[in-house]
Amino acid sequence: MPERSYGSTTNVEHGTSSYDDNDEYISADVYRASMRLVRLQMSIPLSVLIALGTLLVCGALVNPSIGEISLIHPTLLTPNHEMVLGYTALLFILQIGFCLLLAAASSEWTKNSLVKGVGLRLAVVNWLTAAWAVTWTLSLFKTAAIIVIVQAIIVLSIHITLQSYPASFAHPLNAIFVHTMINMLLALTLGLLWMSCGFVAQDWVIERRKDAATWKWQAVGVVAGTHAVVSLWELFMRQYVLAICMEYQVLTLLLSVPHVYPPLPNNPIVRPPAYVITLIVLLAIHPLVCLAGWALKGYREREVRIALQEEAEAANARARRAEARSPPPPPVSAEVAEDAPPAEARDTSLPPKTKKKAAANPEEEPLLET
């Protein structure tokens, strides 16, 4: 028997493994791909549990909690707490579904989207979520703002790499638990958290009701600039789910009613009209961007069809011109056609030069060697 290339022993005393009787070999690339998937199956569920547990502890058991700290430091970008809580709960439900998809993935396309499209970066994002909850509860606002910015950059990189594995009806679970979850996470970090945490870190906190107009242009510039950039991405890449999630983040800001601490029923912060108008305009921009993206897609497809049709017509015209320029074959007279011997009777056994010599000396016979 030929020797095996892997390190199995042939000694009976050492016993045999299940691989000794198997003639199939696993290539190094397949082994590395399997190990990457196994690392994801171990690290991402653990990171989800750590992030969820940390948020529950810092949001319910610690005093002051995450929500109470937001009430103590009200800004123009303080979101509606209940809406953010429901959004985060749905986000973690989708992350649990992502973990189940990791365990049950069978097609190569789904595995590649999980390993190459998402990878261990999602685990890093969840660990940063736990770190943000701790730093925010400890009132380390600048550290928390830096963590959120890094988190947003990582989620943005995941979103960009996932464009190589677009969502489709052929893979509905992948579209729900991968693409939708990443879009929601991107909208939360990029469209809300970094701005809200940044205002608190910069100490643009409203301590008196008349201080609300002090930071209005900062709030207008940050919100309008962020949503303008995201709207351009939605327009050219047709990110409809991201547009819906960004619309929700605008609603969390518009429906928020921050109060000067301590919160009393009769002391809500009156937000500047310029800021409120900006939020209302942003509510209208995202649906319009989706419609414009759909129209732009149809326009591009129509341009491609027209270009292909014009190219086909030009090719046909060139072929007709080439056929018109080529001279017609000379006509063959009937006498020449009758005198020409048939193809079977032609002598093709000798090359042309030999045939000429044979025709010049018909009586000459080749000499034979003796």
Tens-place pLDDT, residues 46-84: 999 999 999 999 988 888 889 889 888 889 999 999 999
Average pLDDT, the chain: 81
pLDDT digits (tens, 9 = 90+) for 16-39: 444 344 456 677 777 787 888 889
Whole-number pLDDT of residue 30: 74
Q: DSSP assignment, residue 19?
A: T
Q: For residue 52, tell me if it sits in a domain.
A: yes
Whole-number pLDDT of residue 352: 52
Calpha distance 277→266 (Å, rounded)? 24
Q: pLDDT band at 338, cuts 50/70/90?
A: low
Whole-number pLDDT of residue 343: 52
Question: Which distant-in-sequence residues (6+ apart) come within 8 Å of 152 by Cβ?
Answer: 186, 189, 190, 193, 194
pLDDT digits (tens, 9 = 90+) for 238-262: 889 999 999 999 999 999 888 777 6
Provide the b/e sequence for 298-308 (b: ≥16 CB within 10 Å): eeeeeeeeeee
Q: For residue 149, tell me if it sits in a domain.
A: yes
- Tokens 């939020």 — which residue? 279
Whole-number pLDDT of residue 158: 95
**How many folded domains does the chain comprise?**
1
Q: For residue 346, tell me if it sits in a domain.
A: no
Q: For residue 13, tell me if it sits in a domain.
A: no
Question: Which distant-in-sequence residues (6+ apart) come within 8 Å of 204 by Cβ?
Answer: 75, 76, 214, 215, 218
Whole-number pLDDT of residue 243: 93
Q: For residue 319, tell me if it sits in a domain.
A: no
Q: DSSP assignment, residue 76?
A: T
Beta bridge partners of 268: 259
| pLDDT at 319 > cutoff 70 | yes
Calpha distance 49→96 (Å, rounded)? 9
Calpha distance 158→131 (Å, rounded)? 20
State which residues form the domain around 228. 28-305
Indicate the pTM of the whole model.
0.75
User: Do residues 261 and 74 touch, judged by C-beta distance below 8 A?
Assistant: yes
Q: For residue 323, tell me if it sits in a domain.
A: no
Nearest to 22 by CA among 5, 35, 36: 5
Q: For residue 167, tell me if it sits in a domain.
A: yes
Neighbour count for residue 333 (Cβ, 10 Å): 9
Calpha distance 250→281 (Å, rounded)? 10
Token output for 286: 């995202």
Q: For residue 65, tell me if it sits in a domain.
A: yes
